[in-house]
Structure 1
């Protein structure tokens, strides 16, 4: 059973599991129905429209004798018609009730949680790479990060009470890819990108296909444990902006959000506190356990994942190279200096 089936990761994970002959039955769950295209892709999977806080879910788990549950429906921000309290109720209370169902169901043998690297926070005092045993250097300010920390705690508690259930937690790095318009992707699609003066965030990213493959691996044959999941290598925010052909505009921290709204419009207003902190400091992950224990090897490095997104989005240089060369030649002529290539 997979929760969050109407969203990108949940929906495409259901699609992969439905195509696996080794998986007998797939139940897709969400509060809203997936698109017609996604339903078609899901094939033999059965969709149940239900809230994870609804007792109906317990009946589904018991009647179908679900043995593996993948929880991928954590909200990253408050719903449009709701508030922070509504977000916490759906995230934390919903997860508690889902895990209670799993604990009571004799058939359940594995629970996989799609978590996030946001649990580590983003500060100037962070290590180069966080291992799974580390925690945030200061409590994250964002609601999504705080909810994710609580959800992980409740899942580990359920695992202690039911030692026969394998508990797997995947802390995914920020996602990029050709089909997913996620946080980093949105940030780099505006012509002018505001950045924090004196800061150059260190980014470690995960391609959307690698995220799906890691979740599939954890669901089908992965061991219990907590795993950082990210592509190899890292890139600086300034590098990402240049590769996307955008124009970087550094500004003092106090002006970042206000001036950023004038530059980026509604996109800046949509960013949460933890997302803005990430743009300022970034976050690096140690993925040794991902390889040695989970047995997963990403296909895309951080740089390759970024380039795949840029190619799919059709981003081109805002300032053409020809314009730069022309301006440079004009300035050199005014200065009386020889032009490039002149002997």
Structure 2
């Protein structure tokens, strides 16, 4: 039993810093390669009201749909591929998956990749015919799918109208705002990712504090506190107020980049705040984390990243994954 306790689950946190004006900055690339996001939390110090531009973007992040008991082969039909796959970016999550065990399932690889954008993947092609046969006849699979679509040509074709033969419900992201008063806050220096003795806190200390604040955990505990001894890291300052905005739903990278653009504009006029923060949480049971890296959700399912955007356009980026997940890029 003690041996099992010593085998702690692996957690990985990658941190980097750059400047939004730097032509080699990878901030947009990181956002675009993290596909499946369910929550965005924005914290702005010394602010009692979320900026109108940020609120407007958060309220127009787009609809998403839950399609019940959809046969998998439907998404390989030429009409579906031509309407949604080749004319934009389709994001799909599946739930309630069941695969019957038989004597051939062990011979199949864990992940099967099908390139739907391949121009040669059409009816009559040997690969296409083989895949359709496998999913339609050999091993018919049915899933509950969560879907959202971002058209690249401005054409608005509704997923709901396409799946009229199935139970398909439309949802919109939800928005909530909370004002925090008189909270201890770490002192940050944009150039000091690892912190500086008696002058600023490290990026990891800040991330721990941010998690506590976002979860409404008291950061002024005493050493003899039974529940928690966590305190705001030193050096720190006191914020008169801060605005915490949370958006929940199925949020695609294109929408998150719009939020980043609005947060950049926040500092175009003089502000008391030295920085703003944006945390993006991926689905715990997402099939991938960054890019096509398989995401392990057997223990925890950590799958998130955080931006700290400074007044001078410097930024910190934290990327975290849990057990069985590939490293962030």
Tell me if TM exceeds 0.5: no
Q: Which has the higher strand share?
A: 2
Highest RCO, 1 vs 2 (Cα 8 Å, sep ≥ 6): 2
Q: Which has the higher helix share?
A: 1
Q: TM-score, normalised by structure 1?
A: 0.28
Q: TM-score, normalised by structure 2?
A: 0.29
